[in-house]
Amino acid sequence: MKQFYWKLRARMLTAGMWPQGWIARGACYSLGLAVGLFILQMLLKLVAPTAGDSLGGWVKFLVFDAAVLFSILAFRWLKRKLLWRLRNRLIVTYVFIGVIPAALLVTMALVTIYLFAGQFASFVVTSEINSQLRSMQAVNAAVSNELAARIEKGETPTAESLVGLRKRERAWGRRRVSAWHGTRVLPLSGTPSPQLIAFPDFFNKDQGEYAKAIREGQPFSQIVRDNDELYLRVASVFVVESEKLTVITSEPLDKDLLADIAANLGEITLYAAGITPDSQGNYQNPNAAKASDAKESGFRTRLFDEPRKSKGGGGVDGRKPNSSPQGDQQVFRPTFTVGSLAAPAGMMDREITFATPLPVVDWKTGDSARAGAAVRVLTRPSVLYSHLFAALGDIARGVEYILLAILIFFAVIELVALIIGTRMTRTVTGAVAQLYDATKHVDRGDFSHRIPVKSEDQLAQLSLSFNSMTESIEKLILEQKEKQRLEGELAIAQEVQAQLFPRQVSELESLEVHGFCRPARTVSGDYYDFLTASSHKLILAVGDISGKGISAALLMATIHSAVRAYSVESLPQMREPAAVGAVAGAGRIMAAWPEGIEVSPGALLGLLNHQLYESTPPEKYATLFLGIYDGRSHRLTYSNGGHLPPLLIGEDGAVRRLEAGGTVIGLFDNMTYDEGSVEMHPGEIFLAYSDGVTEPENDFGEFGEERLIDLVRTNRRLPLVQISQTVTSAVDDWIGDNEQPDDITLVLARAR
């Protein structure tokens, strides 16, 4: 089982389906556990129908948890897929920066306009109702003044006394006027049995908002609820002859009143709680409504009144505070609907529906009625527009044209901004895409790819920088290849040069020799050689070429070849003996040995000087020391061509310098070189070196010749190889971490 798990895991990892991260694993675990619990619940229900019901909650919770976690994973996957491209990132950025705020602003503007339009429509209705109340208030004031004047004259007011007022007021037929002088009812109706308005008891109360206003002489002008009917009612109270004169004017709030308002507005529906109209729109007793009317269209509200004390100590109407009687909830049902919705003036002329409450006063108590009223207005923007700009007349058409021109101007700006934004986005994303494609070429090793540049902005400079970078890398690779080729050639040259130095030295019985050369670079410009002239003669050569590197190495090879060519190994023997000291060419000829005539060191330097002068540039020259050691006589015959004078360090520490010779070779033509001859005593050490040994510097100055002499003098009894290692180690310590400035060459010889 474990092996199967690991195989499945490996396959799903390869396919990229294995959940990685705690969210993915948690989602899979929650879903798997939910499936397991669901199966267990089904199995338990097979045993007993009610068994496993307690697991249902856990299954729902786990499914919800898995859904949330998988939603997070889906969001991350979608984000990773969509936002990988720069273009998609810019689009999302533009959406969040530009589109969403603009959409929110447009939505807020539309909601605000809708609310404003609905509020304006409701304002038209309420303002018309208030206008009607003001008209009734004026009529009520005129009636009150007429009645007060007749009472003060001692006349009895009759209905005929108000005939003039009835003629001036067109709506008098819908209105009822009742008056009381004290407790006496004044007959103001022309009918034999007038229908009086019930006298409000709250007019005589000491408390209450409207009672206080009436006592102060302010008129009462409100929508009232009387006998489950709604009225526009105005009341005035005057004191005439020490008694109150109360005049009340009332008009029903019915279909006829609202129809006049809806004529130029739209459809108006009156909602009232506890009032059910008949088919003609007249009010009915709410007790006649059936319980099924609660399903009719309308809106429900809960009215909170101040609790009234009762004997039972309960809450409202003696009920307990925690109770919720059905009477506390009032259903607003459509009482009647008047008017009709106008036809749309255009595609954008949509319906606007808005409702507003109407303040209603209970005529019996003077308090705000627990069951109020509301009006719902259904209209269109074109109708409201005509109401709003009715005073402008023909100027409204000009306002329309101005708004249309502003809209077109804004649309053009938005279109231009969209085009510019699209072009700039394409510029940015195109440049990034070209850079991405170029990096793929670089990744494949194609450094010859170049990005086309067609603009002069920062992105173009970035593309130019990339092209410059790839061009530099391409040149660097070519230079690296060339460097590797040169390094390979230098390695070969180093191997060839290593072959030029003596590998096997044939020492004489009376002289042991050792040579060491370490180049500062790959190849060296220093030179040393040991040549066997005969069974008892050995030629010692030490030189230093001007400059470093290949040119110095080539000149060193030339000198090496010339020394061997002009040495006694290759020079033909002279058949005729020559007198000692006779001149031959530019040098001198030594005394003849039995083996034949030998070329002297000075003559050989003269020949080398002429050859280098003819075959090398003027700035190329070399220093060269040549010496011939005779093992029979223990004498060293030498000539020094500008090289650092070699040293002879005796057993007693005495130092002799070998300075006989001349200037450097290859710089001037027709030069002669003097020779010197010294006898080497047993144990005496011959020391020749290049400037790479004595000239290295540090903070204390140069290594110096004195330090070199002290090292050799101290270790003169050691083998020559160890003396050489001691000297080179001391030079390395003196140099430290710095680069070796010059080639280091040492030639040691010790007489036996």
What does each C-alpha distance from 569 to 509, 548, 640 come to in angstroms? 20, 30, 21
Average pLDDT over residues 136-149: 85
Q: H or E element: which one contains 247?
A: strand 243-252
Q: H or E element: which one contains 679?
A: strand 676-679
Whether residues 66 and 137 share a domain: the answer is no
Whether residues 146 and 269 share a domain: the answer is yes
Residue at a domain's end among 475, 500, 525: 500
Average pLDDT over residues 374-391: 84
The residue count for the chain: 752
Q: How confident is the model at residue 458 (pLDDT cuts 50, 70, 90)?
A: confident
- What's the pLDDT tens digit per position in 322-343? 433 344 456 677 888 999 988 8
Residue 369 in domain: yes
Tokens 């009709």 appear where?
Answer: 340
Q: Which residue in 254, 258, 257, 270 sits closest to 376, CA to CA?
A: 270
Residue 4 in domain: no
Max Cα–Cα distance, the chain, nearest Å: 191
Q: How confident is the model at residue 506 (pLDDT cuts 50, 70, 90)?
A: confident
Q: Quick one: how far is CA 347 from the chain centroid? A: 44
Whether residues 617 and 542 share a domain: the answer is yes
Which pLDDT score, from 0 to 100, does residue 674 have? 92
Whether residues 638 and 493 share a domain: the answer is no
Which pLDDT score, from 0 to 100, does residue 13 have? 56
Which pLDDT score, from 0 to 100, does residue 8 have? 59
Residue 60 has pLDDT above 60, yes or no: yes
Residue predicted with more confidence, 303 or 99 = 99
Whether residues 544 and 686 share a domain: the answer is yes
Whether residues 471 and 525 share a domain: the answer is no
Taking the C-alpha atoms of residue 117 and residue 380, their distance in angstroms, rounded to an integer, is: 9
Residue 615 in domain: yes
Q: H or E element: which one contains 702?
A: strand 701-702
Residue 211 has pLDDT above 80, yes or no: no
Q: Which residue in 746, 697, 695, 703 sits closest to 722, CA to CA?
A: 746
Residue at a domain's end among 342, 373, 388: 388
Whether residues 597 and 676 share a domain: the answer is yes
- The alpha-helical segments, DSSP class H, found in 444-584 are 458-500, 549-566
Taking the C-alpha atoms of residue 126 and residue 383, their distance in angstroms, rounded to an integer, is: 17
Whether residues 244 and 345 share a domain: the answer is yes
- What's the pLDDT tens digit per position in 105-119? 889 988 998 898 888
Taking the C-alpha atoms of residue 579 and residue 592, their distance in angstroms, rounded to an integer, is: 9
The mean predicted confidence, pLDDT, of the chain is: 78
Residue 96 in domain: no
- The alpha-helical segments, DSSP class H, found in 153-193 are 163-168
Q: 10-19, 23-32, 171-180, 230-239 — which is least confidently predicted? A: 10-19
Whether residues 378 and 402 share a domain: the answer is no
Which pLDDT score, from 0 to 100, does residue 5 have? 57
**What tokens appear for 669 in the block?**
């033509």
Which pLDDT score, from 0 to 100, does residue 29 have? 85
Average pLDDT over residues 181-210: 69
Which pLDDT score, from 0 to 100, does residue 675 have? 93
Residue 167 has pLDDT above 60, yes or no: no
Domain count, the chain: 4
Which pLDDT score, from 0 to 100, does residue 703 have? 92
Q: How confident is the model at residue 568 (pLDDT cuts 50, 70, 90)?
A: low
Whether residues 537 and 598 share a domain: the answer is yes
Q: What is the 3-state secondary structure (H, E, C) of 283-324?
A: EECHHHCCHHHHHCCCEEEECCCCCCCCCCCCCHHHCCCCCC
Instruction: Give the residue numbers spanning the domain of 59.
Output: 13-82
Neighbours of 122 (CB within 10 A): 21
Residue 514 in domain: yes
Which pLDDT score, from 0 to 100, does residue 377 have? 92
**What tokens appear for 423 in the block?**
């072009």
Q: Which residue in 334, 367, 333, 123 sits closest to 222, CA to CA?
A: 367
Residue 278 in domain: yes
- What's the pLDDT tens digit per position in 284-320? 444 434 333 433 333 333 333 333 333 333 333 333 3
Q: How confident is the model at residue 624 (pLDDT cuts 50, 70, 90)?
A: very high
Residue 166, classed as helix, strand or coil, is: helix
**What tokens appear for 399 in the block?**
């306002």
Residue 202 has pLDDT above 60, yes or no: yes
- What's the pLDDT tens digit per position in 689-700? 998 899 898 888
Which pLDDT score, from 0 to 100, does residue 330 have? 60
Residue at a domain's end among 357, 388, 419: 388
Q: Using the 8-state DSSP alphabet, how is residue 99 labeled? A: I
- What's the pLDDT tens digit per position in 254-292? 888 888 888 888 899 998 876 666 555 555 444 434 333
Residue 314 in domain: no
pTM of the full predicted structure? 0.50
Sign of the Cα torsion 592, 595, 597, 601 reads negative
The residues, ordered by sequence, that sit 6+ positions from 392 with a Cβ below 8 Å of its Cβ are: 399
Residue 134 in domain: yes
Q: Which residue in 628, 580, 620 sits closest to 604, CA to CA?
A: 628
Whether residues 533 and 671 share a domain: the answer is yes
Q: What string of DSSP letters covers 465-503?
A: HHHHHHHHHHHHHHHHHHHHHHHHHHHHHHHHHHHHS-S
Whether residues 685 and 635 share a domain: the answer is yes
